[in-house]
């Protein structure tokens, strides 16, 4: 089954909300929000997607199947303050039936290629559940490194769970101090 990656637009808001609701309804999903808490309106989602289009250090992409259905999404949300505009936080979700088919990797690759082309972004960071070994493996494949562990940062389904902070430096090593 084939899929394509493209930039998200405000017209995708309804389908994107449906995608997120479907992912959040999956049992044992490693996302720290419940379906009941996800209450963004269609108008707000359209505004969010428009903001991504207008913000030079942010990008939102979707993976769509051959029928045009959203099967995955990823975004880079760039820092707003001048001191943080070189960095962006990565978010990613892929529908269960499309996992292990290269969708997540394609989404990440598209965002990293875009980030490198901006000339502005130097650092990409993310948080991932420590138990999400498949996700961690994919991020490490792209060069992300674990920078820290947040112990018991998440309380979900009666358990306290750790998450990892991972980062990727896109610039030259000489560009940043250690």
CA distance 148 to 127: 10
CA distance 65 to 98: 10
Instruction: Assess contact for 87 and 58: CB atoms under 8 A.
Output: no
Domains of the chain, start order: 3-125 (3.40.630.30)
For all residues of the chain together, what is the average pLDDT? 94
Which residue reads 């290269």 in tokens? 102
The pLDDT, as a whole number, for residue 110 is 98
CA distance 141 to 136: 9
Give the angle 19-111-156 at the CA atoms, nearest 5°.
45
Task: Write out pLDDT tens, residues 25-61.
Answer: 998 899 998 888 999 999 999 999 999 999 999 999 9
Task: Write out pLDDT tens, residues 90-128.
Answer: 999 999 999 999 999 999 999 999 999 998 999 999 999
Count of residues for the chain? 178
Count the neighbouring beta carbons within 10 Å of the beta carbon of residue 145: 12
Count the neighbouring beta carbons within 10 Å of the beta carbon of residue 23: 18
177 has pLDDT over 60:
no
């Amino acid at each position: 089954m084939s899929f394509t990656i493209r930039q998200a637009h405000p017209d995708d808001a309804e389908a994107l909300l449906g995608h997120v609701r479907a992912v959040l309804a999956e049992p044992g999903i490693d996302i720290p929000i419940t379906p009941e808490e996800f209450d963004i309106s269609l108008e707000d989602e359209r505004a969010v997607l428009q903001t991504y289009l207008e913000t030079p250090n942010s990008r939102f992409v979707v993976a769509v199947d051959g029928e045009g259905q959203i099967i995955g999404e990823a975004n880079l949300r760039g820092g707003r303050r001048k001191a943080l505009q070189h960095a962006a936080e990565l978010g990613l979700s892929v529908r269960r039936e499309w996992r292990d088919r290269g969708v997540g990797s394609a989404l990440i690759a598209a965002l990293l290629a875009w980030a490198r082309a901006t000339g502005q972004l130097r650092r990409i960071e993310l948080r991932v559940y420590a138990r999400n070994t498949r996700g961690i493996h994919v991020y490490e494949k792209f060069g992300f490194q674990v920078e820290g562990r947040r112990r018991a940062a998440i309380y979900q389904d009666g358990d306290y769970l750790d998450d990892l902070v991972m980062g990727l430096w896109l610039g030259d090593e000489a560009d940043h101090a250690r």
